[in-house]
């Protein structure tokens, strides 16, 4: 039985952590191995001190898979990037609450008007109440469990409380958004984040791509680790 179907936890590989020289081939392998979606970080070197993927790269990969493409805008001015995403076939655009300011609801509405689902992301130090009034409008909320911008950071454990609080708000008000977690999601953190309420796990270097040189085997190791955590949660 498929882990993902059994656990109702979705797996979304972070493609900035893939082998960029083999990006298309690795995306196709991940597709064949049954991941649920693909996560693309677009960075501008200003909102975060790093550069990552771009709309052009996302466009070039779109024909290779029919799985959802989710774009995470780690940029200072998200409105500059949105027009380049709308005709690609991106399924969800996630914007950081820290970057939207007084235009937040206009930006969210604009994304939905162009046919994409909409998500909001929060940095670790950003309190949950900054998105409280947006929760009825969004399809997903991404809790960053590391400071954004670089792969390989340590998991920030107090973020489990933020995930729990977000799940409680969803249950209290009957909202329909998914809870996504992003940052050092691996065998050491699968169980705690799932128990806290995560629906979508963004997996990168430590959770997927470093598990085996053979990417197919890496995916299978990831699924085995998740299956173990899911089984353990059922026994408690």
Catalytic residue set: 41, 182
User: Do the Cβ atoms of 193 and 163 come closer than 8 Å?
Assistant: yes
List, in order, residues 6 or more apart from 175 with CB less than 8 Å away: 135, 136, 169
Token pair listed for 133? 């009034």
Q: What is each CA distance from 23 to 131, 143, 183, in whole angstroms?
A: 34, 26, 20
Alpha helix ranges (H) inside 52-137: 55-61, 82-86, 104-113
**Nearest CA to 222 among 13, 76, 43, 31?**
13
User: Would you call 76 exposed, middle or buried from its count of C-beta atoms within 10 A (0-12, 13-18, 19+)?
Assistant: middle
């Amino acid at each position: 039985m498929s882990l993902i179907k059994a656990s109702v936890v979705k797996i979304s590989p972070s493609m900035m952590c893939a082998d960029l020289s083999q990006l298309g081939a690795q995306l196709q392998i991940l597709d064949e191995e049954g991941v649920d979606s693909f996560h693309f970080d677009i960075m501008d070197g200003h909102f975060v001190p790093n550069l990552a993927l771009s709309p052009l790269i996302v466009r070039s990969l779109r024909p290779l898979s029919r799985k959802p493409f989710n774009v995470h805008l780690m940029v200072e001015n998200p409105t500059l990037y949105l027009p380049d995403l709308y005709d690609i076939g991106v399924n969800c655009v996630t914007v950081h609450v820290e970057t939207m300011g007084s235009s937040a609801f206009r930006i969210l509405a604009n994304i939905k008007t162009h046919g994409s689902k909409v998500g909001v992301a929060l940095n670790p130090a950003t309190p949950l109440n900054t998105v409280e009034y947006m929760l009825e409008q969004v399809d997903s909320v991404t809790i960053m469990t590391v400071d954004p911008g670089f792969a390989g950071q340590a998991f920030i454990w107090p973020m489990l409380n933020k995930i729990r609080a977000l799940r409680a708000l969803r249950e209290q008000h009957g909202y329909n958004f998914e809870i996504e977690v992003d940052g050092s999601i691996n065998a050491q953190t699968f169980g705690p984040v799932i128990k806290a309420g995560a629906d979508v796990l963004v997996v990168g270097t430590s959770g997927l791509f470093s598990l085996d040189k053979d990417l197919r085997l890496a995916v299978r190791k990831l699924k085995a680790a998740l299956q173990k955590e899911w089984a353990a949660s059922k026994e408690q």
